[in-house]
Amino acid sequence: MMDLSLAFDPSRERDYARDLARAFGGALLFSLPLLMTMELWWFGFILSPLRLAIFLLVGLPLLLGLALYAGFSKQHGGLGHALLDTLAALAVGYLTAAVVLTLFGVLEPGAPPGQIVGQLSLQAIAGAMGALLAGRQLSAGKDDTGDEDQASYPGELFLMVAGALFLGLNMAPTEEMILIAYRMSAFHVAALLVLSLVIMHAFVFKVGFAGQEAHDRPLAAFVHYTLAGYGLVLLTSLYVLWVFGRTDGHGLAEIVDAAVVLAFPGAIGAAAARLLV
């Protein structure tokens, strides 16, 4: 017979309850700017079901990667526990969004179910990211869930994408991204791109990325981390702009300009990913 003392460990359950509470705090911390952004409320019910589905499907492997990297629970055990953490984080993200948007009066009682699901789903990914990273962000230096310095080169690039997406989701829904791109000349766009690379390269050597070890090979570090990372940031920016319909009806030059504008905060988020995630 199964030993019930092994099935139920009060100390383990208390730890998990504490981690879960911290996950809600992380979800609120990460998603509050989005929860208070009017454009996200509207996109929740005007966004096409296809784009919303793609947004969720792309978000799932991202969340799984963050669960493997961190996870909100200390009870790690490989892919199985990472999957459970991912599902729990999604539930935390949805519940946090539902409570806050209800309190804000955004969720209308008589609204169609599709509208409510759309509004919650756009918010839940950011909330789930915060839930998974709560152990690192809210532990005050205690109970770290892993050793940050052990990330491989693909792992470093993955963290850059996560950092870029974190800031990109906060800005891509707003009209200002398109307005700024419209007001900029080709010189401004090129200068912003160069500035993004400079800031990104400076950050890489200050926040613990593996490229920090390559001071004796600055060109290799620039190519492998800064340039590769910025390329991923641009792709992430294009993806987020597409999700929110910011590329619809615009020419190639306008789309590139908007991507470079969004990639500016995205590059900072990517380069500071070790601090953000």
Please check whether residues 28 and 124 belong to one and the same domain: yes
Exposure of 177 in the CB half-sphere (CA atoms within 13 A):
31
Last residue of a domain, one of 146, 180, 204: 146
pLDDT of residue 188: 96
Residue 185 maps to a domain? yes
Residue 164 maps to a domain? yes
pLDDT of residue 145: 45
Closest CA to 130 of 72, 180, 172: 72
Please check whether residues 117 and 64 belong to one and the same domain: yes
pLDDT of residue 206: 63
Please check whether residues 140 and 157 belong to one and the same domain: no
Q: Which residues make Cβ contacts (< 8 Å) with residue 127, sequence separation at least 6?
A: 27, 28, 30, 31, 92, 93, 94, 96, 97
Please check whether residues 256 and 220 belong to one and the same domain: yes
Please check whether residues 156 and 269 belong to one and the same domain: yes
Helix (H, G, I), strand (E, B) or coil at 108: coil
| pTM beyond cutoff 0.75 | yes
Residue 258 maps to a domain? yes
Closest CA to 146 of 229, 73, 63: 73
Last residue of a domain, one of 146, 181, 199: 146
Q: Work out how many domains the chain is built from and give that number.
A: 2
Q: Which residues make Cβ contacts (< 8 Å) with residue 222, sequence separation at least 6?
A: 201
**88-107 per-position pLDDT tens digit:** 999 999 999 999 999 999 98
Please check whether residues 112 and 215 belong to one and the same domain: no
Residue 266 maps to a domain? yes
Please check whether residues 77 and 36 belong to one and the same domain: yes
Residue 9 maps to a domain? no
Please check whether residues 103 and 208 belong to one and the same domain: no
Residue 6 maps to a domain? no
Please check whether residues 204 and 132 belong to one and the same domain: no
Residue 134 maps to a domain? yes
Token pair listed for 233 = 């940031």
Q: Crossing angle for the helix pair 49-69 and 153-171, nearest 10 degrees?
A: 140
Q: Which residue has the tokens 């999700």?
A: 243
Domain of residue 66: give its range. 16-146
Last residue of a domain, one of 131, 146, 161: 146
CA distances from 235 to 138, 231, 272 (A): 30, 6, 18
Per-residue pLDDT of the chain (277 residues; tens, 9 = 90+): 444 444 556 776 777 788 888 889 989 988 898 899 888 888 888 888 899 999 999 999 999 988 887 665 555 567 888 888 899 999 999 999 999 999 999 988 888 888 899 899 999 998 999 888 886 665 554 444 444 445 678 888 898 899 899 888 888 888 888 899 999 999 999 999 999 999 888 877 665 555 444 455 667 778 888 899 999 999 999 999 999 988 888 889 999 999 999 999 999 988 887 666 6
Please check whether residues 140 and 247 belong to one and the same domain: no
Residues 135/74, Cβ–Cβ less than 8 Å: yes
Please check whether residues 136 and 185 belong to one and the same domain: no
Residue 5 maps to a domain? no
Please check whether residues 117 and 171 belong to one and the same domain: no
- C-alpha–C-alpha distance, residues 13 and 33, integer Å: 32
Q: Which residues make Cβ contacts (< 8 Å) with residue 252, sequence separation at least 6?
A: none
